[in-house]
């Protein structure tokens, strides 16, 4: 993975459950390989594995569409496909429809681009250009190019797609 220092002409985005008042104070500690191809959350006092580094950073994405799958509550299973359909369990529908989040928009020049994961990191983020509360989760998802389907079982859908050889991304399975 290459860590790019290219200047960006676009913004970067992140979603959070609550409005963040101090982004410098909300950095999380990660251990990671020098090129960030391997990383994971780390505790402040945790020993860093050999060959790894420890950094306090804020993650973001460069395309608003990439935050869409994370608009649902963290404990809601989800699966999304390359044809822009996002599936949720019917049992989570009420929680998803009632979920609210904050979309923060940052100047991309304040972040470093991680090519392999298509993510951005900053160890010294400035205040966001804008923070917007999203109060209609399904509407936000649909406005950003996804079709939403509530199904009986996201896990069963994953098995079905696996059997058909169809690629997907998932969280919470």
CB 121 within 8 A of CB 59: yes
Tell me the pTM.
0.79
In this prediction, residue 9 carries a pLDDT of 56
Tally DSSP H helices, then E strands, for the chain.
Answer: 3, 13
Domain boundaries, the chain: 3-165
The secondary structure of 120-160 as a DSSP string is EEESSPPPPSEEEEE--HHHHHHHTT-EEEEES-HHHHHHH
In this prediction, residue 3 carries a pLDDT of 40
Beta bridge partners of 88: 78, 150
CB 119 within 8 A of CB 41: no
In this prediction, residue 162 carries a pLDDT of 96
pLDDT tens for 48-68 read 888 888 888 988 998 888 888
Give me the average pLDDT of each 10-residue run along the chain (173 residues). Answer: 48 88 78 84 81 88 88 92 95 96 91 86 88 94 95 97 94 83
């Amino acid at each position: 993975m290459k860590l790019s220092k290219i200047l960006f002409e676009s913004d970067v985005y992140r979603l959070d459950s609550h409005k963040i008042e101090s982004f410098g104070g909300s950095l999380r500690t990660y251990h990671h390989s020098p090129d960030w191809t391997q990383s994971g959350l780390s505790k402040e006092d945790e020993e860093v594995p050999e060959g790894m580094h420890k950094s306090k950073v804020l993650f973001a994405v460069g395309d608003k569409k990439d935050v869409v799958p994370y608009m649902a509550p963290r404990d809601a299973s989800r699966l999304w496909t390359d044809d822009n359909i996002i599936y949720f369990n019917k049992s989570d529908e009420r929680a998803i429809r009632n979920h609210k989040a904050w979309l923060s928009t940052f100047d991309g020049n304040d972040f470093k681009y991680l090519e392999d994961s298509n993510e951005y990191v900053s160890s010294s983020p400035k205040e966001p250009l804008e923070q917007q509360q999203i109060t209609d989760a399904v509407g936000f998802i649909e406005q950003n190019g996804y079709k939403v389907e509530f199904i009986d079982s996201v896990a069963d859908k994953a098995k079905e797609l696996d059997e058909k050889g169809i690629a997907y991304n998932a969280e919470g399975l």
